[in-house]
């Protein structure tokens, strides 16, 4: 049995869209490549056929993985999230006390993390250190480069 995967509604829709693309666009494309390669003759010495079969195997694995995530997903009820302390789906503004840099991240499930969009995985070292803390608290967080003190400036949705 697979582990539960916590997702937002947006994250679940993104997975469903990706699964639809894999099943309805990429799967038929690979089937066509296999058929074309099969038509070229001797399969024992046909590199195109071997490559297409390998691509098919990788695609089917990816489809199975996404199906498993969807089957084991649990939606996060965004209406029950408050901002009294840091938790998943909160937008947290923090200040690095060492260099004065101010950053803002939204803590999201691991599957939805994207630093370019300011979405930080809830299981990252910084997010783990912030969880459960309140505005005004200073938290020492251990990161690969050492320990960095962060002050929580604001928590919002």
Sorting pLDDT into bands at 50, 70 and 90, what band is 150?
very high
pLDDT, residue 2, reads 62
> Do residues 71 and 16 make contact, with C-beta atoms less than 8 angstroms apart?
no
Per-residue pLDDT tens over the stretch 81-116: 778 888 888 899 999 998 989 999 999 888 888 889
pLDDT at residue 1 is higher than 50: no
pLDDT at residue 16 is higher than 50: yes
pLDDT, residue 61, reads 96
> Do residues 107 and 92 make contact, with C-beta atoms less than 8 angstroms apart?
yes
**Mean pLDDT for the stretch of residues 32-55:** 83
- Cα distance between residue 69 and residue 102, in whole Å: 34
pLDDT at residue 59 is higher than 90: yes
Cα-only R_g, the chain:
22
| Range from 34-38, 63-67, 137-141, 150-154 carrying the lowest mean pLDDT | 34-38
Domains of the chain: 5-75 (1.10.287.180), 79-156 (3.10.50.30)
pLDDT at residue 4 is higher than 80: no
pLDDT, residue 152, reads 92
Count CB neighbours of 24 within 10 A: 9
């Amino acid at each position: 049995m697979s582990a539960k995967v916590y997702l937002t509604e947006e994250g679940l829709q993104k997975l469903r869209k990706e699964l639809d693309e894999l099943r309805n666009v990429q799967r038929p494309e690979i089937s066509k490549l296999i058929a074309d390669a099969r038509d070229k003759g001797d399969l024992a010495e046909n590199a195109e056929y071997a490559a297409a079969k390998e691509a098919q195997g990788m695609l089917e694995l990816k489809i199975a993985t996404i199906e498993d995530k969807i089957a084991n997903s649990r939606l996060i009820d965004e209406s029950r999230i408050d901002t009294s302390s840091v938790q998943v789906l909160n937008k947290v503004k923090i200040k690095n006390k060492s260099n004065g840099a101010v950053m803002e991240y939204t803590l999201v499930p691991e599957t939805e993390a994207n630093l370019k969009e300011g979405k930080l995985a809830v299981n990252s070292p910084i997010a783990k250190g912030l969880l459960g803390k309140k505005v005004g608290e200073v938290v020492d967080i251990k990161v690969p480069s050492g320990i960095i003190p962060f002050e929580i400036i604001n928590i919002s949705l």
